[in-house]
């Protein structure tokens, strides 16, 4: 178990040279060991295309090195300089109507080959200059890929990327996926519906909004793959340039809705990295809820890091409140004393080996003016600086918290990205899925588990030996080998009401639940109903619907709605829910939540799903 | 009185060939006689421009014919294939800012001559191939013209059609309307206001948003006429290609607001057709309200069919709930047992001779995945199939319901499309008009009438011999011969508070009410006031305003507001309302509604408006 | 003190020639002396480019002159005729995405040199024809500059002006401002933040949305300066064409939010004019609030007129309700009897020397159909005509009201346009600032003052000899000489919680409050906090936040929050508030408001801030 270490983000380009030494001294005095820099500074050191001004950068690195600090150097691709627009006038992201992206960051289409070549040349220069420095701890690729790209699921015509270079990449990706068979694509996309059958690959260039759910599903897959490829391309480039130096990325946990808008696949972005960081800003002032949200996000992102064997870190942990003198909507004032320590403990317990405070000094200018500083606006120490110092000295004991945490039984939640993508074909309201996953996380923690998430690639690696419980809260898309694997899964399972309703192309399962699963779980799925159909006596809080469940022979009813319809059925190793327990748990009374927790406790799971069911059946509602 | 018959929509292009025979067998077994198909299948049989693949289509028609079923064949113009964009890159609908329409259907500008020629060629091929088949029952033109075009009254710059071909058609239409006199147009449009006087026809090409209410009124007229012309063009083409075969269209009743956004004129679309169908999706789960809404919509659309002497049918009657496994916003889960029969009875009572269930099997893919099936997802029968079978055998008795219904006295409601168009020049909030007409429909039914609607072309054909009551709930635009006709109308009338406030160009009447009408109805109209001006004691529910009424000699006050202002006045044959009774009726208490109903009862109308008023005057508020 | 006189707007181009004489007779009979005309009539007298039709205009002027009336002639640039689009196809305003402005007025980019030359030629012709007429009272430039340009702060990409001619002007303006030093611009704009450093002036052409708050601040400054320049250009042109004739403008008080959207700087627009008019439409039906709002707006705009030494008038005072026969959202029905007189008294008391009623007759057509008439739709007199006649005869006594009003002690409110501009870089919610200023106005009037406003140019001319109190409610941007002036200001001051938080470039003050001010006011500013941080016991209404205040030696606490934090501190001549009293005053209970009023009364201010504090300190909360 490694010791937890700390660092911070510091931007020399925001401050007079005369203050760098003092600021770095204080960073070192606070027990921090690493400084992260460079993700937004392209125009600082390459003010004109191909003309570099390294002197200030060199001086800063010297000062870092002189204090024994280490540097995490970021590639600058999040914000190309203004001259990019002059050099590559056709290189901006475009939306479906051809409007140029005006986002403050991540406004660039890296499928544009000329601009990608320029990015490569700049990264090579950067690596050549600093790759050999002792102080180089490692690399961060870009920063928060695609975050702040102002895409919006609710208005898909405002989503990117429809730059012609991107569309060509999209058509190439489809060609590969469908083995250059348009017939296969037409079949998969059900293009006979509303006369969309394609007769030539070029026709795919023309967008048709969110008309076709199967095409939309592929489009969402491609966007995420395309972004992950861009990260992978930088990863491979850096590996070649500075072998042995750790390469990672700061992948923000943006919530499900935004992650779908901007095309994030956490697992795909993490693949092959040495370290995976994330950043989490959650300071609404409701301390309990804020910490629960940090716990959920940390577990989610650590799972993505674990899947690729990467070290896990918090690349940006909020270091302080905002110091603006006017009201603003972004969290910050909710950051109150003690929160720094509490959030650090949450991160460490759940696997963070490194925490970078964001940031050392709030800038006095720029878009994020006055935000998030550990220090005061003038660079002087605050109470938080002292707290950070104390935490730095606790590295080993913080790591020990993790060991205690790991003793809990493990629940694995299937985080089916494909299902989330598919759902967006019909609704921009991803809050439900957010509630589902956050709700399940809290429910399982209440029942005594530690929680891991497994994406579509990882889920079939789960085994009962390692997981006391496997939960499928939102596994809409499932077919073929995965269905077979699921039907044969010998461990304890909780099955959500949407499970396996469609195949990989997004075509509905004609029997609602594949026969293999119905046979395994002893249940048939009927219609998905509005909760409005439920008698009021059920006393459930508002939900988005429920599933008709009919137990087959060998299936039993765990509880009923007041109108007699099953609320959950179960069999030897599976509990099948007619409603979304995750969402439900966020809205229940304490008593209702207690019932859910009781059903899910490791001891109950063990008793009920291994043949010792007799003595509990009398307790069913 | 013809017998009611039933059919369904079935899409062979959505299903494996191997299932067609079984599905058609079940359709026949359920007592259905016709199958509707083809409205969205262009790319199925013409996968490349001019290259047809008729084999599957032929096979399907053979199977239909073999079972003695009849085919309603649709022209495919609702959804041109993807190659249309390649062939006619300048043919899409454009909005005011030149953005291409990305709607899933009805995204095409048929004013584009090349694309219209192609559509004609395809329809000719279709008619040539199947026009001679015994099984061809008849034709449906397009489907739901313009429905799903994502226009929006609230943001007029997102409305279509601003394709240059459409603008040219618009300018031609104006030239014809104003006898090529720009002076006449400038006068009609009051272009001296805000310096808009046109000096050349070309200047009209440039849009000016919703700046000029008179231009907007003409623009709305042109859009509706242009769409109706497109339907008429197909009607004439089909008549020539297959003489004797019934030609009709499925015209959706979309509600007033949407109908204005997408440019629908029900009466103009229906003109000259052999049959007029409509489709109505109303299944919110509030059974009583749903059926009342179906009744209103059916009466409205049947009136449009009656005006042209066409047979009336329900082209799409919802056949079942949605079978999606996730929440969605579109109605469906509200479809519960018994609704199929109840809705069928509403349709028949109000004149439907044919009902097509929509649809036979919910598709497993495509934009409308899982929606509306009579059968289960796998094609097996449901309880609804049995209900449909029973209804099929009741055809004659269902028709008999209509005869009973027709014995009621008849009220005719003026459905002034021009007034609705004019109102949109000032507000996108057409909910008020929706409430007005739906409210009046319910109120008149409560008072014991059957209700017909008459549009601006039909209203002057109404006579007291055929109509016990004529209602003008929203007749803003009126002048010339229509005003003369109204002033001389000898039958019973109810006059709304906005009546005749402007002439045909949308210019205000300087005396608020034309003198001819004021003299006939013995009343002067004053200002239109906010309801806020009313004393609270009036105890009226929230309304959008009221009209100052001053009875002239011979006019009497029917009831007063609590501040003494008249709530309604009357004369020999007319009741003049200071508020919108239709809107009011949706919001009143039962007692208030009872009063309104009492004033409108056929017996009251007869007594009050034929000189026997004495005995009732004591009852006035 | 001049006598108050009255006029009206009358549009001959809206009415048949045959009615002009009668209408002008009635105008004269009502005691009105001036007629305003021409602001929207360009296409009436120049129907084709360079082809004029003066006959109707001449006839109208003859009729005016024959009645001894005077004419206020407007330049027509608010609404170029339709042929402008043909002549200058690249001359429309464009938004950030290049979309043409479709506003009904002020849709033109006057940075386009060809179109500006055409405007000059037309104005010259107008001046040549009527400049020598005896009846010419004077000129109005344009009308309501930029009003009705449909810009929207909430969606900055919809804001204007991004026409290439405008962007060039913007870059030129920047070049002048920064002495052609890109380094200075990069420093001022903190372009190292997010890699925005500019290396060439051309790069500034490309917009980046609202990414950079400092660039945004300059952009807002430039838009306002550019609009004011356009007015100044017309002013100088008219002065040259008709020396001696008064030149003015109708500058609408649109509220802070809209004024920022459309780029208005009242003081800059007023500069150098002979008369400054404004127009105010406020008739919601809540009489007390409506009159208070009129008082605030009148004081604000009169202050702008006073600053340049111009006569002040109400160019458009609402003359009546709307006479539409359908609901609409624009104020009007709230216009009830007596309001005409009440509003006139408010205007006169606060300095208006001339009032033009808007308008004489409501038009029967056009965008503003039926709105605002003094007369009935048919041109006949109303009760309001009689009221206007009475007011005309009271001119001298109305002016006398002003003298009484002027006896009150004077409070000056710093209306810091720069601070308002800066705030929009972070939030489109300018309602808060609206509340701040309107709230302060009401509070100071309650405390017995008359209120003037001083903009950033005027504020340093304020002296204790002339102002009993100087209030800085929203003075975010302050540095250099202004800070020195403030620190040395010897008179009584009230200081808002945001004061001087940033320098002229929008960079934060690293000590929160400049040391000079902290020393002068004996207080240190801490964090800006959410009100959520306040204990509930404070019983304050919802606010947007509060400032941490720490009195230095010599500073005292005036009142505390219930958690002990200072709500206000004071020193010899300054009261420093932790919250926005202006906003607060709109939401307080009467008791809370009474406390605020007590603190601000002239007698309290005098006692507390001149050393006689002892006897009051016991009263502090």
Q: Mean pLDDT over all residues of chain B? A: 92
Q: Which spans in B250-312 are helix H? A: 256-262, 266-270, 287-308
Strand C311-318 to strand B70-74: parallel, antiparallel, or no bridges (unpaired)? unpaired
CA–CA distance, B258 with B266 (Å, rounded to integer): 13
Q: Note whether C296 and C441 are within 8 A (CB).
A: yes
Report the residue count for chain B.
621
Q: Which of B53, B54, B107, B55 is closest to B77 using CA atoms?
A: B107
User: Is B203 part of the contact surface with chain C (CB cutoff 8 Å)?
Assistant: yes
Residue C526: both structure tokens together:
């801490």
Is the CB of residue B558 less than 8 Å from the CB of residue B620? yes
User: In the prediction, which pLDDT does A536 show?
Assistant: 45
A482, A455 contact by CB (below 8 A): no
Output the pLDDT for position C335: 77
Contact A534, A511 (CB under 8 A): no
Q: How far is residue A437's CA from residue A419's CA, in Å, rounded to a whole number?
A: 13
Of C71 and B608, which is predicted with more confidence?
A: C71
Residue with tokens 């507001």: B561
Tell me whether A506 touches chain B (CB under 8 Å). yes
pLDDT at C605: 85
Q: Alpha helix (H) ranges present in A79-199?
A: 83-87, 113-130, 164-177, 182-188
Which of A492-506, A576-590, B188-202, B445-459 has the lowest average pLDDT?
A576-590
Q: What is the pLDDT of residue B12?
A: 98
B536 has pLDDT over 60? no
**Counting beta carbons within 10 angstroms of the beta carbon of residue A591, is it exposed (0 to 12), middle (13 to 18) or buried (19 or more)?**
exposed
Q: Is the CB of A41 less than 8 angstroms away from the CB of C508?
A: no
Residues of chain B found within 8 Å of residue A508, distances taken between Cβ atoms: 323-325, 362, 364-365, 369-370, 377
CB contacts of C327 in chain B (<8 Å) are 427, 432, 528, 544-545
* B40/A423 CB distance under 8 A: no
Please tell me which chains touch C, using 3 or more CB pairs under 8 Å as the contact test: A, B
Sheet strands side by side (includes B493-495): B450-454, B410-414, B469-472, B493-495, B574-577, B566-570, B556-560
Pairing of strands B469-472, B523-529: unpaired
Q: Which of residues 68-127 of A touch C (CB under 8 A)?
A: 76, 79-83, 85-86, 99-100, 102-105
Q: Where are the beta strands (DSSP E) in B81-166?
A: 136-141
Residues in B closer than 8 angstroms to A433, CB to CB, are none
**Please, which pLDDT band fits residue B284 given cuts at 50, 70 and 90?**
confident
Per-residue HEC secondary structure of A12-68 comes to HHHCCHHHHHHHHHHHHHCCCCEEEECCCCHHHHCCECCECCCHHHHHHHHHHHHCC
Q: A179 touching B, CB under 8 A?
A: no
**Confidence grade of residue A575 (pLDDT, cut at 50, 70, 90):** very high
What does C572-602 look like in DSSP terms, one character per residue? SSEEEESS-HHHHHTTS-HHHHHHHHHHHSH
In terms of DSSP H, where are the helices of C382-479?
Answer: 383-393, 395-406, 417-423, 431-446
Q: What is the mean pLDDT of chain C?
A: 92
Q: Are B50 and B120 spatial neighbours (Cβ–Cβ below 8 Å)?
A: no
Query: Does residue B614 have a pLDDT over 80?
Result: no
H helix or E strand, kind and range, residue C60: helix C55-66
How far is Cα A144 from Cα A296, in angstroms, rounded to an integer?
Answer: 19
- Maximal CA-CA distance, chain A: 79
Residue of A nearest to B378 (CA): A510
Degrees, nearest 5: CA angle C496-C499-C502: 160
Q: How many CB atoms lie within 10 A of CB C538?
A: 16
Per the omega criterion (within 30 degrees of 0), is the bond before C359 cis?
yes
pLDDT band at B613 (very low <50, low <70, confident <90, very high): very low
**Of A368-372, B232-236, C444-448, the least confident:** A368-372
CB atoms within 10 A of CB B465: 7
Question: Quick check: B192 and C79 CB within 8 A?
Answer: no
* pLDDT at B621 > cutoff 50: no
Question: In this predicted structure, which of A208-222, A267-281, C76-90, C600-614 has the lowest mean pLDDT?
Answer: C600-614
What are the angstrom distances between the C-alpha of A536 and each of A531, C112, C283?
A: 10, 67, 48
| Nearest chain B CA: its distance from C368 CA (Å) | 9
Phi, psi of A98, rounded to the nearest 5 degrees: 80, 10
Task: Please report where in the chains the tokens 């399940």 appear, as a residue.
Answer: A440
Q: Following CA atoms B477, B480, B484, B485 in sequence, which dihedral angle do they give, to the nearest 10 degrees? A: -70
Neighbours of chain B (3+ CB pairs under 8 A): A, C
- Mark which residues 396-435 of C lie under 8 Å from A by CB: 423, 426-427, 432
Contact C79 B195 (CB under 8 A): yes
Please say whether the beta carbons of A82 and C207 come within 8 A.
Answer: no
CB atoms within 10 A of CB C615: 8
Res. B539 pLDDT band, cuts 50 70 90: low
Beta bridge partners of A203: none
How confident is the model at residue A615, as a pLDDT? 42
Residues in CB range of C288: below 8 A, 6 or more apart: none
pLDDT band at residue C285 using 50, 70 and 90 as cut-offs:
confident
Q: Cβ–Cβ of B193/C86 closer than 8 Å? A: no
pLDDT of A268 over the 90 cut: yes
C179-194 pLDDT tens trace:
999 999 999 999 999 9
pLDDT given at position B326: 66
What contacts C354, CB < 8 A, 6 or more positions away?
A: C4, C5, C6, C7, C34, C275, C277, C311, C313, C314
- Average pLDDT of the segment spanning C522-532: 85
Distance between CA atoms of C509 and C486, rounded to whole angstroms? 16
Distance, in Å, from the CA atom of C499 to the CA atom of C491, rounded to the nearest integer, reads 17
Q: Which two tokens stand for residue A175?
A: 């060609």
Q: pLDDT tens-digit profile of B489-499?
A: 999 999 999 99
Read off the pLDDT band of B618 (50, 70, 90): very low
């Amino acid at each position: 178990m490694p010791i937890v270490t700390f660092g911070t983000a510091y931007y020399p380009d925001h401050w007079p040279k005369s203050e760098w030494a003092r600021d770095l001294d204080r960073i070192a005095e606070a027990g921090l060991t690493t400084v992260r820099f460079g993700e937004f500074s392209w125009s600082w050191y390459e003010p004109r295309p191909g003309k570099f001004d390294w002197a200030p950068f060199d001086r800063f690195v010297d000062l870092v090195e002189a204090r024994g600090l280490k540097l995490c150097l970021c590639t600058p691709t999040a914000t190309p300089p203004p001259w990019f627009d002059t050099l590559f006038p056709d290189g901006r992201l475009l939306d479906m109507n051809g409007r140029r992206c005006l986002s403050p960051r991540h406004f660039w289409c890296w499928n544009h080959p000329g601009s990608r070549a320029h990015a490569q040349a700049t990264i090579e220069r950067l690596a050549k200059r600093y790759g050999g420095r002792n102080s180089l701890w490692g690399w961060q690729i870009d920063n928060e890929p695609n975050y702040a790209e102002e895409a919006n699921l609710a208005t898909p015509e405002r989503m990117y990327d429809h730059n012609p270079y991107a569309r060509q990449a999209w058509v190439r990706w489809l060609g590969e996926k469908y083995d250059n068979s348009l017939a296969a694509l037409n079949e998969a996309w059900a293009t006979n519906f509303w006369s969309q059958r394609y007769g030539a690959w070029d026709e795919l260039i023309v967008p048709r909004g969110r008309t076709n759910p199967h095409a939309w599903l592929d489009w969402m897959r491609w966007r995420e793959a395309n972004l992950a490829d861009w990260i992978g391309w930088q990863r491979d480039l850096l590996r070649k340039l500075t072998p042995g130096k750790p390469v990672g990325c700061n992948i923000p946990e943006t919530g499900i809705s935004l992650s779908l808008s901007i095309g994030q696949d956490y697992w795909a972005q993490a693949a092959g990295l040495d370290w995976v960081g994330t950043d989490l800003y959650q300071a609404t002032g409701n301390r309990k809820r804020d910490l629960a949200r940090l716990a959920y996000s940390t577990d989610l992102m650590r799972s993505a890091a674990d899947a690729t064997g990467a070290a896990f870190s918090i690349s940006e942990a909020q270091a302080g409140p905002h110091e603006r003198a006017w009201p603003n909507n972004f969290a910050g004032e909710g950051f109150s004393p003690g929160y720094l320590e509490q959030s650090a403990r949450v991160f460490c317990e759940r696997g963070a080996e490194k925490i970078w405070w964001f940031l050392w000094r709030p800038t006095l200018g720029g878009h994020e003016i006055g935000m998030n500083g550990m220090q005061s606006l003038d660079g002087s120490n605050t109470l938080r600086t002292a707290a950070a110092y104390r935490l730095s000295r606790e590295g080993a004991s913080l790591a020990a918290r993790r060991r205690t945490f790991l003793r809990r039984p493990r629940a694995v939640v299937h985080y089916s990205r494909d299902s989330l993508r598919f759902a967006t074909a019909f609704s921009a309201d991803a809050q439900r899925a957010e509630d589902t996953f956050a709700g399940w996380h809290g429910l399982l923690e209440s029942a005594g588990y530690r929680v891991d998430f497994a994406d579509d690639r990882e889920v079939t690696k789960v085994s009962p030996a390692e997981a006391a419980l496997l939960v499928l809260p939102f596994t809409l898309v499932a077919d073929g080998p995965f269905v077979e694997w699921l039907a044969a899964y010998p461990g304890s399972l909780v099955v959500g009401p949407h499970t396996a309703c469609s195949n990989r192309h997004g075509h509905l399962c004609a029997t609602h639940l594949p026969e293999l699963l119905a046979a395994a779980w002893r249940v048939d799925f009927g219609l998905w109903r509005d909760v409005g159909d439920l008698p009021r006596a059920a006393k459930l809080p508002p939900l988005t619907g429920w599933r008709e469940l009919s137990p087959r022979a060998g299936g039993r009813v765990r509880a009923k709605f007041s109108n007699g319809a099953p609320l959950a059925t179960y069999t030897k190793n599976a509990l099948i829910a007619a409603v979304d327990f995750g969402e439900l748990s966020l809205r229940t009374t304490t008593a209702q939540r207690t019932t859910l927790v009781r059903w899910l406790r490791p001891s109950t799971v063990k008793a009920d799903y291994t043949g010792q069911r007799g003595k509990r059946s009398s307790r069913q509602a």
